[in-house]
Amino acid sequence: MATAKKSKKNKKRSQWSEVWRRLKKNKMAMVGLTILTIIVLLAVFADFIADYDEVVIKQNLKERLQGPSAKHWLGTDEFGRDIFARLIHGARVSLKVGIISVGISIIIGGILGSIAGYYGGLIDNIIMRTMDIFLAIPSILLAIAIVSALGPSLMNLMIAVGISSVPSYARIVRASVLSIRDQEFIEAAKAIGASDLRIVLKHIIPNTLAPVIVQGTLGVAGAILSTAGLSFIGLGIRPPAPEWGAMLAGGRAYLRYAWHVTTFPGLAIMTIILALNFLGDGLRDALDPRLKQ
Amino acid sequence: MIRNKKLFLVVTSILVLALALAGCGQKPAEEAKGQKDTIVVAQSADAKSLDPHATNDSTSSNVMTQIYDTLVYATEDMEIQPGLAESWNQVDDTTWEFNIRKGVKFHNGEELKASDVKFTLDRMMKSSKVSHIVEAIDSVEVVDDYKVVIKTKEPFSPLLAHLAHSAAGILNEKAVKEAGDNYGQNPVGTGPFKFVSWEAGDKITLERFDDYFRGPAKLKKVIFRVVPEGTNRTIGLETGEIDIAYGIEPIDKDRVANHENLQLIEAPSLGMYYIGFNCEKAPFDNKLVRQAVSYAINPDDIIEAVLSGSGFKANSPIAPGVFGYNDKLNRYEYNPEKAKELLKEAGYENGFKTELWISGSLANQIAQIVQAQLKEIGIDVSIESLEWGTYIDRTAKGEQEMFFLGWTTVTGDADYGLYPLFHSSAKGSAGNRSFYGNPEVDKLLEQGKVATDIEKREEIYKKAQELIMEDAPIFPLFYKLQNAGTQKFIKGFKLHPAGHHKLYNIYFE
């Protein structure tokens, strides 16, 4: 019994280390991972780099719209606030919204997808047709509608972005569940009397993780972009909290006079999305069992 | 290497093409002198309707003021001059007699008759958008073809100023009846330009009306274009595709003023922008708190940072160009120490949390400065940004605590600037969104409406402004300067303080 357990554990570890080994070979994925790690570290240690009350939201109208200098690395915005400090603190918001909203969609989408896939029939039809209806509405439009109805705030933003991408997760999970449901080890589990819940949680869900992880990584990028978009049109978090999309919108009027106010937040958005996409693509390849040598 | 060469070629050819196209853009401006007879006017939004009774917003008025004439009109110096009414006299306190100009033609060939005036004013009184402008009128009677008598419910001194409002443009009865529900897209007036076509969201084309009673305009065609983004209006001016652009962004002002082909026209407007307090909600039901906040906001910072200097500090709810303006009022000069004292006196030593409701990007910038300044005295403001329609509805219901808004006294008379904002009967959607009520102010505002002696009226309004500023239901931030950028060859263009500008006098040089 003990040896069996141990060997199972070993096998599990080796499966993930195999993925990691293949991921490491992918240069683009490693670039993405490195950039992402740097951004995450900057966000985590943001308070040590720049004080929130004294630097990030403190206005200094005498220094407004200054270009990059030794004092302000990336210049100052329309209220004289340091753009570098705001970008770092803005990364917190972006990462938080990105991860939590994707979490929301994975949980809701996962539950709906596995119910639909496992039971099939009428339930499947009802759930998936509802998802189709949601899919017919552009997700950014859906998010705008949700934020307008609930009012702009960080929480509502995450809910809106999260809910608007539920259907794609439900579809992915359902498709994987369908392919696993009829395999022999599930039949075996049923034969020894395992409950539906146990089968789904212990045997099916772990096998659907790979595509969800890939979609999730790419989804964080999408969520960050949606958040920036919503903030740009004024539906994001409330000022004076720094948010990349809102920073972009704030500097828009000064584009021809102070290029740095819009350029750096724009670059930040671009960089993090590029990094997440590199990583997501790398993960897709690394997790694909058909690519095993 | 070969691939790189190709890329290089592509990039170079794009750059060359871009330069060539940029060069093309300059041409119209250079060619414009001489044979040019069309001007393109850019404004930030499309007209909503060209039926003066269907809307009351400045982008629509800007077009309608070219199409319609009013009985009397206000010059750029806010003096009342005869328009379609040749002359008038006040028979008694409530009766006014107007003599209509003879031989005035509508764009459809009909002649202007007294019956059109009666039809227009009767229709206007039923309109949900603009009836407030003529609510003082009791009845309009046709005496003969060229004479109407207007009776007011009670003595109403600013009647002429109200009839000069662009929404009081005279319509042709026949045209309105023929067009039915589509009148807003088929306007017929007596103005210097007649309506030709309207491509929704893009442009409205007007053409010279040759039978205009003051003589035909020098321009042949006017095209109103919709260019929402301020920066793009400036770029349009620079490339020469736009001849007149309303509302140059503050930051672009210097660029237009210093450009060799362009000129910047700036003029005071009748608009006042303010932070309002909901006087029926704690803590703003306390006068001391409202005064404290007024002392803690520094409009200089807002004028400097947000308006790039195109505004000046307000000391009254009405602008200096408005009849009845009190220039002797003391304003709440920025003084955070005094603000803290007042807060302490009011029992809010440790400050409080509140919300500031706004709509729009200008408001957002102003709100962020106000937020930072109030933080200094311990007031924690969260900015609630709402879509305009929702904002207007919910502030009318009194859900807000603090809010930012503007008010333009289009008639140039204190009655229009003060009564809707501060009379207790106007609470809510009529304009009093600070839900302010003071019996003494009510009495003065009522007296001002009916007083016939000009000096006495002025005195009444000056007193009312004093009381209002003392109570501080709103904190007037600034009077905005309005501006427009035009090509240098455009002459004879003046900005009207009420915000809609006539193009009749424009000529080229």
Residue spans of beta strands (DSSP E) within B64-107: 72-74, 80-82, 85-92, 95-100
**Closest approach of B383 to chain A, Cα-based (Å):** 6
pLDDT of residue A11: 56
- Asked if B206 and B63 count as a contact pair (C-beta separation under 8 A), the reply is yes
Which residue of A lies nearest to B382 if distances are taken between CA atoms?
A238
CA distance B43 to B40: 10
Residue B432, CA distances (Å) to B397, B426, B457, B466 in order = 11, 5, 22, 18
Q: Contact, B47 vs B59, CB < 8 A?
A: yes
Element (H, E) at A202: none
Task: Find all residues with CB under 8 Å of A197, minimum gap 6, and list them.
Answer: none
A138 lies within 8 A of chain B by CB: no
A155 in contact with chain B, both atoms CB, cutoff 8 A: no
The H or E element that residue B408 is part of is strand B402-408
Q: Which residues of B touch A238 (CB under 8 A)?
A: 382-385
Count other C-beta atoms under 10 Å from residue B49's C-beta.
Answer: 17
Count the alpha carbons within 13 Å of A197 in the hemisphere toward its beta carbon: 0
Rounded-to-integer distance, Cα A242 and Cα A261, Å: 13
Strand ranges inside B173-261, DSSP E: 193-199, 203-208, 221-226, 244-246
What totals of helices (H) and strands (E) does chain B contain, helices first?
15, 19
Task: For B250, name the nearest residue in chain A, comparing CA atoms only.
Answer: A253
* CA–CA dist A37, A45 (Å, integer): 12
Q: Does A253 touch chain B (CB under 8 A)?
A: yes
Closest C-alpha among B160, B154, B75, B136 to residue B420: B136
**A–B CB contacts, 8 A cutoff, strictly below:** 48
Q: List CB contacts of A263: < 8 A, sequence separation 6 or more.
A: none
Q: Please say if the pLDDT value at position B49 is more than 80.
A: yes
Residue with tokens 């972006």: A94
Measured between CB atoms, does A259 come within 8 Å of chain B? Answer: no
DSSP B307: S
Backbone angles phi, psi at A240, to 5 degrees: -95, 10
A27-56 mean pLDDT: 91
Using a CB-CB distance cutoff of 8 angstroms, which residues of chain A are in contact with residue B387?
148
**A257 at interface of B, judged by CB pairs closer than 8 A:** yes
Q: Which H/E stretch holds residue B272?
A: strand B262-277
Q: Which of A256, A257, A262 to mutate to test the interface with B (most CBs of B within 10 A)?
A: A256
CB nearest to B372's CB, from A59, A64, A78? A59
Q: Mean pLDDT lowest for which of A85-89, A227-231, A243-247, B30-34?
A: B30-34
- The CATH class of B69-173 is alpha beta
Contacts of A148 in chain B (CB under 8 A): 387
Q: Tell me: domain B270-480, CATH 3.10.105.10, correct?
A: yes
Q: CB distance B372–A253 less than 8 Å?
A: no
Q: What is the pLDDT of residue A293?
A: 47
- 3-class SS of residue B332: coil
B17 versus A129: which is more confidently predicted? A129
Predicted local distance difference test score (pLDDT) of residue A147: 86
B421: left (phi over 0), alpha (psi -120 to 50) or beta: alpha
Per-residue tokens: B488: 């240098």
Say which of B251, B304, B387 has its CB closest to residue A253: B251
Reference B234, options B48, B486, B415; nearest CA is: B486
pLDDT of residue B399: 93
Mutate to test the interface with B, among A53, A54, A61 (most CBs of B within 10 A): A61
Give buried/exposed letters for B484-508 (b at 16+ CB in 10 A, else e). bbbbebbeebebbbbbbbbbbebeb
Per-residue pLDDT band at B25 (split at 50, 70, 90): very low
Does residue A254 belong to the interface with chain B, where contact is any CB pair within 8 Å?
yes
Any CB–CB contact under 8 A between A256 and chain B? yes
B chain contacts of residue A152, beta-carbon cutoff 8 Å: 384-385
Q: 């309303």: which residue's tokens?
A: B246
Q: Does A10 touch chain B (CB under 8 A)?
A: no
- Check B304 against A61: CB less than 8 A apart: yes
pLDDT in tens, B223-264: 999 998 888 999 999 999 999 999 998 888 989 999 999 999
With an 8 Å Cβ cutoff, is A59 touching chain B?
Answer: yes
pLDDT at B30 over 60: no
> Which residue do the tokens 């709103």 mark?
B474
**Cβ contact, residue pair B382, A256, below 8 Å:** no
What CATH number matches the domain at B29-49+191-266+484-508, 3.30.9.90, 3.40.190.10, 3.30.360.10, 3.30.230.10?
A: 3.40.190.10
Q: Quick count: other Cβ atoms within 10 Å of Cβ B430?
A: 14
- Helices A244-251 and A259-287 sit at what angle, rounded to 10 degrees? 150
* CB A256, CB B231: distance < 8 Å: yes
Residue with tokens 């328009």: B83
- The contacts of residue B167 (CB under 8 Å, 6+ apart) are B52, B53, B56, B61, B124, B129, B130, B133
Q: Over 60: is that where the pLDDT of B22 sits?
A: no
Specify the pLDDT at position B164: 93
CA distances A150 to A146, B31, B391, Å, are 6, 54, 14
Task: Retrieve residue B98's tokens.
Answer: 């107007």
CA dihedral A138, A140, A146, A148 (to 10 degrees): -120
SS3 A143: helix
- Asked if A59 and B384 come within 8 Å (Cβ–Cβ), the reply is no
Residue B120 has pLDDT above 90, yes or no: yes
Strands B402-408 and B262-277, sheet pairing: antiparallel
pLDDT beyond 80 at B287: yes
- Cα B363 from Cα B357, distance rounded (Å): 9
The residue assigned the tokens 């039926």 is B51
Tokens describing residue B59: 């982008």
Q: What is the pLDDT of residue A89?
A: 93
Partner-chain contact B249 A57, CB within 8 Å: no
Please list, in sequence order, all residues whose beta carbon lies within 8 angstroms of the beta carbon of residue B127, skipping any fewer than 6 positions away: B53, B54
Q: What is the pLDDT of chain A when averaged over all its residues?
A: 87
Supply the pLDDT for residue A1: 43
Per-residue pLDDT at B3 exceeds 80? no
- Between B231, B304, B382, which is nearest A253 by CB? B231
Percent of chain B with pLDDT over 70: 93
- CA dihedral B420→B426→B429→B435, nearest 10 degrees, is 100
| Distance (Å) from the alpha carbon of A287 to chain B's nearest alpha carbon | 34
Is residue B222 a contact partner of residue B205, using CB atoms and an 8 Å limit?
yes
pLDDT at B308: 84
Q: What is the pLDDT of residues B362-400, one digit of tens each?
A: 898 899 999 999 999 999 999 988 877 788 889 999 999
- pLDDT score of B305: 87
Residue B266 binned pLDDT confidence (cut-offs 50, 70, 90):
very high
pLDDT, greater one: A232 or A171: A171
A98-108 average pLDDT score = 94
Nearest to A255 among B231, B255, B369 (CB): B231
Give me the residue spans of the domains in chain B. Answer: 29-49+191-266+484-508, 69-173, 270-480
Average pLDDT of chain B?
89
Could you tell me what percentage of chain A is helix, strand and coil, using 3-state DSSP and rounding each to the nearest 5? Answer: 80, 0, 20
Q: Would you say B189 and B106 are in contact if contact means Cβ atoms under 8 Å apart?
A: yes
pLDDT tens profile A164-175: 889 999 999 999
**What is the distance in angstroms between the Cα of A155 and the nearest Cα belonging to chain B?**
15
A58 to chain B, closest Cα gap in Å: 7
B385 contacts in chain A (CB < 8 Å): 152, 234, 238
The count of other CB atoms within 10 Å of the CB of residue B103 is 9
Contact residues, chain B to chain A, C-beta under 8 Å: 230-231, 249, 251-252, 255, 301, 304-305, 361, 364-365, 367-369, 371-372, 382-385, 387
* Domains with residue ranges and CATH for chain A: 44-58+71-291 (1.10.3720.10)
The per-residue pLDDT for A9 is 53
- B159-181 pLDDT, tens digit each: 999 999 999 999 999 999 999 88
Q: Which of B31-40, B113-122, B372-381 has the lowest mean pLDDT?
A: B31-40
pLDDT digits 0-9 by tens, B308-359? 888 999 999 999 989 999 999 888 999 999 999 999 999 998 999 999 999 8
B18 confidence band (pLDDT: 50, 70, 90): low
- Provide, as residue numbers in chain B, all residues whose Cβ is less than 8 Å from the Cβ of A249: 361
Per-residue pLDDT reduced to its tens digit, B423-452: 999 898 888 999 999 999 999 999 998 888
Q: Please count the other Cβ atoms lying within 10 Å of the Cβ belonging to residue B50.
A: 23
Unique residue bearing structure tokens 């910038």: B365
| Count of C-beta atoms within a 10 Å radius of residue A7 | 10
The alpha-carbon gap from B302 to the nearest alpha carbon of chain A, in Å, equals 9
